[in-house]
Amino acid sequence: MSHFKPFVLIPSYNTGSLLEATVKEVLASTLWPVCVVVDGSTDDSEKAIVDLAAKESRLVVLIKDENEGKGAAVRTGLLESGSSGFTHVLVMDADGQHPAKEINRFIKCAADHPEAMILGQPVFDSDVPWERLYGRKLSVWLVFCEVGGSAIGDPLYGFRVYPIKSLLAVMEKPGRSNRYDFDPEVAVRLNWRGVPALKVAAPVRYVSEELGGVSHFHYFRDNLRFVCLHARLLVQAPFRWLKRGAAQKELNTDE
- For 59-100, what is each residue's pLDDT tens digit? 999 999 999 999 999 999 999 988 799 999 999 999 999 999
- 146 lies in some domain: yes
User: 3-12, 165-174, 196-205: which has the minimum mean pLDDT?
Assistant: 165-174
Determine the Cα–Cα distance for residues 73 and 112; give it in Å rounded to an integer: 27
Answer yes or no: is pLDDT of 216 > 70.
no
Residue-wise over 21-44: b if at least 16 C-beta within 10 A, else e?
bbbbebbeebebbbbbbbbbbeee
Determine the structural domain holding residue 237 and report its residue range: 6-254
- 1 lies in some domain: no
Fill in the amino acid letter for 25. E
- 236 lies in some domain: yes
Which CATH number goes with the domain that contains 41?
3.90.550.10
Determine the Cα–Cα distance for residues 42 and 40; give it in Å rounded to an integer: 7
CA angle 73, 171, 190 (to 5 degrees): 120
Looking at the structure of the chain, the number of domains it has is 1
pLDDT tens digit sequence for 100-111: 999 999 999 999
Report the candidate in 166, 183, 252, 171 with the shortest Cα–Cα distance to residue 222: 183
- 160 lies in some domain: yes
- 248 lies in some domain: yes
Determine the Cα–Cα distance for residues 224 and 9; give it in Å rounded to an integer: 27
Q: What is the pTM of this model?
A: 0.89
Q: What is the mean pLDDT of the chain?
A: 87
Fill in the amino acid letter for 70. K
